[in-house]
Amino acid sequence: MTVALLFGTLFICLLIGVPIAISLGVAALVAIYFGSTLPLEIISQKAFTSLDSFPLLAIPFFMLAGILMGKGGVSKRLLNLATTIVGWITGGLSAVTIVASMFFAAISGSGPATVAAIGGFMIPEMIRKRYDSGFAAAVSASAGSIGVIIPPSIPFVLFGVIGSVSVGSLFLAGVIPGLLIGIGLIITSYIIAKKKGYVAQDIDGFSMKDVLKATFDAKWALLIPVIILGGIYGGIFSPTEAAVVAAVYAFFVGKFVYKELSWEDVFESFRESVVINATTMIIIGLSVSFAYFMTLEQIPGQLAQILTDLSSNPLVILLLINILLLIVGMFIDTISALVVLTPILLPIVTEVGVDPVHFGVILVANLAIGFITPPLGVNLFVASSVGNVKFEKIVVGVIPFLLTMIICLLLITYVPALSTWLPGLFG
């Protein structure tokens, strides 16, 4: 009865367009009021106390760092570097978009931020070079999904906090899967570009001299992931402190090195960060209340029992979880899904011998695909907005990239070494 009230209310709220944070809170409220003897104030108490977490502070600071870098000239230099590396191949602009997004992902930790920073420039440029607008926007939206896999990653921070898993290990675990997805997207864009006759960028082949020159010009930008990851694994600072260092460094480089960050940009960056973070924290708080009530009602245990009754084979269980996550990613945003599903699914997979770090990568990779699957598809909406492209055209254009990401997801799921090798090397 209680389970039906909880999930029934949640789905009804989502169907009628109630924001996800409010839907989670209302579902918990209805389930507690009609199906439990718990006091109603437990919802607000858990929502408030869940935010009293030092690791969670990494989220607003990584957001701020990404916005400052986008406004401070970092993305422009990363684009120039990407152009010298892959701009000469067929469909070079699409490959440049993907490589630049991978660079920016190693800085911002956010999928939508990567789409906005790189796609805002590259989508109009591809359209100007006679690329199909749906394809151009789909490339940027797909590449932006890598932003939550290549470290630093805001979802990895959140998963680490909820699941008591080392955030540093999760960051390392995301490197190879992120590169795998990036290479897969480049191959896909090349095949499409070859078929449709899209031209290369206006450069005369690959030149190591040009690459070295662009690398030197982008050195301050490229130092950011080195400082962040080097500081974490060198024991100099924690992931949260690394986020603060990244924000300060982004301000310093944009304001005093590149000199492209005005005080007005700084103010706007802080304003954007506050607005985005406020929304994020409301979602996290009410998601924790929802997850806490599920735990009290032993819903995760019941679901675990159902899955293990179906099969005790970890390969089959991971396949079923992947299918579930792909469906969830279509309707629920990444942060809400992480907060709700981590306490449900993590005990299930650890019980059948799956490494928690490996599962963290599987979970985030699934939800990264959710960034480009309608109807939610946040990256699709961002790409549509910054590129002024109809949403319907992007949905059609993104299908090949979606299939590529699903193939990469299966490799990540069933080849654990892709996720566990680097953490094991440095552990």
DSSP secondary structure code for residue 151 in this structure? S
Q: Identity (one letter) of the amino acid at 285?
A: G
pLDDT in tens, 289-317: 877 777 777 776 777 677 777 777 888 99
Q: Residue 385 corresponds to which tokens in the numbers above?
A: 């907005």
Half-sphere exposure of 256 (CA within 13 A, CB side): 5
Burial bucket for residue 191 (CB in 10 Å: 0-12, 13-18, 19+): middle
> Quick one: which of 102, 218, 237 has its CA closest to 167?
237
Handedness of CA 219, 181, 386, 268 (dihedral sign): negative
Q: What is the DSSP string of 161-230?
A: HHHT--HHHHHHHTHHHHHHHHHHHHHHHHHHHHHHTPPPPSS-S--HHHHHHHHHHTHHHHHHHHHHHH
**420 pLDDT more than 90:** yes
> Quick one: which of 302, 386, 389, 289 has its CA closest to 344?
302
Q: pLDDT at position 182, please? A: 94
Measured CA to CA, the distance from residue 67 to residue 6 in angstroms comes to: 37
Reported as a pLDDT band with limits 50, 70 and 90, residue 413 is very high
Q: pLDDT at position 15, please? A: 81
Mean pLDDT of 33-49: 81
Measured CA to CA, the distance from residue 318 to residue 340 in angstroms comes to: 18
Query: So where are the chain's domains?
Result: 1-40, 54-426
Task: Supply φ then ψ for residue 197, to 5 degrees.
Answer: 75, 30
pLDDT in tens, 239-276: 888 888 888 988 998 899 888 889 999 999 899 888 87
Q: pLDDT at position 427, please? A: 61
Reported as a pLDDT band with limits 50, 70 and 90, residue 165 is very high
What pTM was computed for the model?
A: 0.82
Measured CA to CA, the distance from residue 320 to residue 89 in angstroms comes to: 39
Q: Identity (one letter) of the amino acid at 226?
A: V
Mean pLDDT (the chain, rounded)? 85
Neighbouring C-beta atoms of residue 202, cutoff 10 Å: 11
Q: Identity (one letter) of the amino acid at 9?
A: T
Measured CA to CA, the distance from residue 167 to residue 240 in angstroms comes to: 10
Burial bucket for residue 106 (CB in 10 Å: 0-12, 13-18, 19+): buried
Q: Identity (one letter) of the amino acid at 373?
A: T
